[in-house]
């Protein structure tokens, strides 16, 4: 039931974080090889001195090095292609009668080692990015995409799954839960294979695969450009008046940013929260308070425009490297349109919806318009309130003569002032109640009441990719059985991390 995302190369880089528990429901025993839930030992794969090939437990994140990726992928691709060739030969035999348990569970078991390595690599690329890892990832990506395409475009596999679906017939409400899951797995995989080009032949198939490979390359380049231009920008503030009434927590963060960035092994710079200097970056924990609290309109404008123009034709880099994503966006649009038309879709949006719950593009547009219709009047009323407050309290630069309307970099600042004015409540006053330990305690207490589970901290039980990462086990309250584990990486790291995990 998980091979669906593998076929489409939609392996979630963070999905590897949840691969720590056996399935809870007995109904899933025949799906026990699911890549999301079990470990599959690599008895046939050498793991000598390569942490990526040690797959009988959670990833040894601290031991993984970028130069391990290429040999691991090469070894696993070779084995997977050999195994899949044999698998196709077996299911193509005239004497073979396709059975579900011989197809999907075996495929998932077969694909797991490479999916594991690529999932871990993708995850680290998102949370521990480096030039070395990028190079290794980009080098290995073509062979991974090409190999996984062979699964989605396998005619013997498609015919075997089609035969299973035909033999089962229409869904029956009397089907037990396990049977329903099997039906859904077959249905999803057949659909994924159709979207993966299984019906194409010859030149069309070759072109389709070229598009798939190029889209994977562009996606990686796009993300890297955003990360690079995000961490390349900073704005140093030296005048305390520019940060008047800014919360202490924000000033402390910016002061630490400056101290950390300017300190050397020979000379350590101490952060001065009240007197600065302060360094504002485009990382969200730094960017949001800048737009929300800094009274200096010019600073807000610079920070806002810097964020808006990341990875664009307006981006300036110190090494004159090309970080402009605009050409990539146009190429993505062109390639997705071509790919959709090759599969007889009118456009890429229609192809996207083929695997989603929305019945049509029109229904999505209708829903958006409905939300707009309901929300716009309230939004306009609030905009009038914000504008009136700015006119009253903002000084000469906000008068109608000097400013026709509020700009985008004004909205967060004056929205926050309106909230403070209407509710006599400041964001900083709430901060003590939402410290991370208290938030986690509250969240874990809630899920315990709702789902009868208990979450326990288990730091040190497994390797992590950063010292700030936490590790937790999840237990069934009644049986005391461990049913899952997860990592928590809540802090921003502009230099190497794209998202919160």
How far, CA to CA in Å, does 381 sit from each of 387, 394, 405, 412, 423? 10, 19, 15, 16, 17
Let me know if residue 493 belongs to a domain. Answer: no
Q: What distance in Å separates the CA atoms of residue 34 and residue 347, rounded to the nearest whole number?
A: 33
Residue reference for tokens 């190079």: 135
Q: Is the pLDDT of residue 32 over 50?
A: no
CB 485 within 8 A of CB 458: yes
| Number of structural domains found in the chain | 4
Q: What is the DSSP string of 23-86?
A: -SSGGGGGGTT-TTT-----TTS--TT-GGG--SSS--GGG--GGGHHHHHHHHHHHHHHHHHH
Residues 109 and 245 in one domain: no
How far, CA to CA in Å, does 176 sit from each of 32, 164, 343, 403? 18, 17, 34, 66
CB 351 within 8 A of CB 195: yes
Q: Could you tell me how many residues make up the chain?
A: 501
Residue reference for tokens 């990833």: 59
Among the candidates 184, 199, 214, a domain finishes at: 199
pLDDT tens, residue by residue, 343-361: 999 999 999 999 999 999 9
Residues 39 and 180 in one domain: yes
Task: Tell me what pLDDT residue 184 has.
Answer: 92
CB atoms within 10 A of CB 462: 16
Residue reference for tokens 């309230």: 378
Let me know if residue 302 belongs to a domain. Answer: yes
Helix axes 155-168, 177-195, angle to 10 degrees: 140
Mean pLDDT computed over 372-388: 96
Backbone phi and psi for residue 20, each to the nearest 5 degrees, phi listed first: -125, 0
Residues 100 and 58 in one domain: yes
Q: What distance in Å separates the CA atoms of residue 98 and residue 190, rounded to the nearest whole number?
A: 14
SS3 content of the chain, % helix, strand, coil (to 5): 60, 5, 35
**What string of H, E and C letters represents the secondary structure of 338-383?**
HHHHHCCCCCHHHHHHCCCCCCCHHHHHHHHHHHHHHHHHHHHHHH
How far, CA to CA in Å, does 154 sit from each of 85, 92, 229? 10, 11, 41
Mean pLDDT computed over 441-467: 95
Residues 345 and 271 in one domain: yes
User: Which of 64-73, 168-177, 265-274, 394-403 bottoms out in mean pLDDT, i.e. has the lowest?
Assistant: 168-177
How far, CA to CA in Å, does 8 sit from each of 3, 11, 55, 224? 9, 8, 23, 22
Q: What distance in Å separates the CA atoms of residue 255 and residue 239, rounded to the nearest whole number?
A: 13
Cα dihedral 425, 431, 432, 435 sign:
positive
Cα of first residue to Cα of last residue in the chain, in angstroms, is 24
Q: What range defines the domain where residue 21 resides? A: 3-199
CATH number for the domain spanning 141: value is 1.10.1370.40
Let me know if residue 40 belongs to a domain. Answer: yes
With bands split at pLDDT 50, 70 and 90, how would you rate the model's confidence at 16?
very low
Residue reference for tokens 């001065």: 272
268: which 2 tokens? 């350590």
Nearest-CA neighbor of 475 among 15, 22, 4?
A: 22
CB 84 within 8 A of CB 151: yes
Residues 172 and 63 in one domain: yes
CB 447 within 8 A of CB 456: no
Task: Tell me what pLDDT residue 471 has.
Answer: 97
Residues 40 and 59 in one domain: yes
pTM, full prediction: 0.81
Among the candidates 311, 337, 356, a domain finishes at: 356
Q: Is the pLDDT of residue 42 over 70?
A: no
CB atoms within 10 A of CB 353: 16
pLDDT tens, residue by residue, 81-123: 999 999 999 998 867 788 899 899 999 999 999 999 999 999 9
Backbone phi and psi for residue 225, each to the nearest 5 degrees, phi listed first: -65, -40
pLDDT tens, residue by residue, 235-275: 999 999 999 999 999 999 999 999 999 999 889 999 999 99
Pairing relationship of beta strands 278-281 and 453-457 according to DSSP bridges: unpaired
Let me know if residue 41 belongs to a domain. Answer: yes
Helical residues (DSSP H) of 169-201, grouped into ranges: 177-195
289: which 2 tokens? 């308070």
CATH number for the domain spanning 256: value is 1.10.1370.10
Residues 127 and 160 in one domain: yes
Residues 158 and 11 in one domain: yes
pLDDT tens, residue by residue, 425-445: 888 888 889 999 999 999 999
Cα dihedral 193, 198, 199, 203 sign:
positive
Q: What distance in Å separates the CA atoms of residue 27 and residue 23, rounded to the nearest whole number?
A: 9
Let me know if residue 229 belongs to a domain. Answer: yes
Strand order in the sheet with 482-488: 453-457, 470-476, 482-488
Among the candidates 199, 224, 246, a domain finishes at: 199
Residues 124 and 148 in one domain: yes
CB 113 within 8 A of CB 479: no
Task: Tell me what pLDDT residue 36 has.
Answer: 38
Residues 322 and 380 in one domain: no
Residues 345 and 412 in one domain: no
Let me know if residue 273 belongs to a domain. Answer: yes
pLDDT tens, residue by residue, 298-339: 999 999 999 999 999 988 776 667 899 999 999 999 999 999
Let me know if residue 415 belongs to a domain. Answer: yes
37: which 2 tokens? 């839930």
Task: Tell me what pLDDT residue 35 has.
Answer: 37
283: which 2 tokens? 């990382």
CA angle 183/184/185 to nearest 5° reads 90
Percentage of the chain with pLDDT > 70?
Answer: 88
Q: Is the pLDDT of residue 41 over 80?
A: no
Residues 21 and 117 in one domain: yes
Q: Is the pLDDT of residue 11 over 60?
A: no
Let me know if residue 494 belongs to a domain. Answer: no
């Amino acid at each position: 039931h998980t091979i669906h995302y593998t076929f489409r190369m939609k392996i979630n880089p963070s999905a590897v974080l949840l691969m720590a528990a056996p399935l809870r429901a007995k109904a899933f025993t025949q799906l026990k090889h699911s890549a999301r839930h079990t470990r599959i030992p690599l008895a046939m794969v050498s793991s000598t001195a390569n942490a990526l090939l040690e797959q009988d437990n959670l990833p040894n994140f601290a031991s993984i090095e970028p130069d391990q990726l290429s040999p691991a992928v090469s070894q696993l691709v070779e084995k997977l292609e050999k195994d899949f060739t044999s698998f196709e030969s077996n299911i193509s035999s005239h004497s073979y009668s396709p059975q579900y348990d011989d197809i999907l569970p075996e495929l998932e078991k077969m694909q797991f080692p490479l999916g594991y390595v690529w999932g871990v690599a993708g995850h680290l690329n998102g949370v521990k990015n480096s030039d070395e890892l990028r190079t290794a990832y980009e080098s290995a990506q073509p062979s991974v995409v090409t190999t996984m395409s062979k699964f989605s475009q396998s005619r013997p596999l498609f015919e075997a799954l089609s035969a299973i679906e035909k033999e089962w017939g229409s869904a029956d409400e009397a089907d037990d839960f396990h049977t329903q899951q099997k039906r859904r797995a077959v249905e999803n995989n057949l659909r994924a294979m159709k979207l993966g080009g299984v019906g194409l032949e010859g030149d069309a198939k070759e072109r389709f695969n070229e598009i798939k490979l190029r889209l994977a390359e562009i996606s990686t380049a796009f993300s890297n450009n955003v990360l690079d231009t995000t961490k390349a920008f900073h704005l140093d503030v030296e005048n305390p008046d520019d940060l008047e009434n800014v919360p202490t927590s924000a000033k402390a963060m910016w002061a630490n940013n400056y101290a950390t960035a300017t300190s050397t092994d020979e000379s350590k710079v101490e952060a001065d929260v009240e007197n600065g200097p302060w360094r504002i970056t485009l990382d969200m924990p730094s960017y949001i308070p800048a737009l929300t609290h800094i009274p200096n309109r010019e600073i807000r404008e610079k920070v806002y425009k810097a964020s808006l123009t990341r990875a664009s034709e307006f981006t300036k880099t110190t090494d004159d490297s090309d970080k402009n994503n605009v050409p990539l966006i146009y190429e993505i649009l062109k390639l997705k349109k071509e790919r959709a038309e090759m599969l007889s879709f009118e456009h890429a949006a229609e192809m996207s919806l083929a695997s989603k719950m929305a019945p049509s593009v029109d229904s999505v547009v209708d829903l958006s318009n409905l939300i707009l219709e309901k929300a716009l009047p309230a939004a306009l009323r609030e905009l009038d309130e914000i504008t009136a407050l700015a006119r009253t309290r903002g000084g000469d630069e906000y008068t109608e003569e000097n400013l026709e309307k509020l700009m985008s970099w004004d909205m967060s600042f004056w929205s926050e002032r309106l909230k403070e004015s209407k509710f006599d409540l400041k964001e900083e006053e709430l901060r003590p109640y939402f410290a991370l330990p208290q938030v986690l305690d509250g969240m874990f207490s809630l899920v315990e009441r709702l789902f009868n589970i208990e979450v326990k901290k288990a730091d040190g039980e497994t390797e992590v990719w950063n010292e700030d990462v936490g590790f937790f086990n999840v237990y069934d309250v009644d049986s005391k059985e461990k049913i899952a584990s997860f990592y928590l990486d809540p802090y921003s790291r502009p230099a190497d991390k794209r998202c919160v995990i």
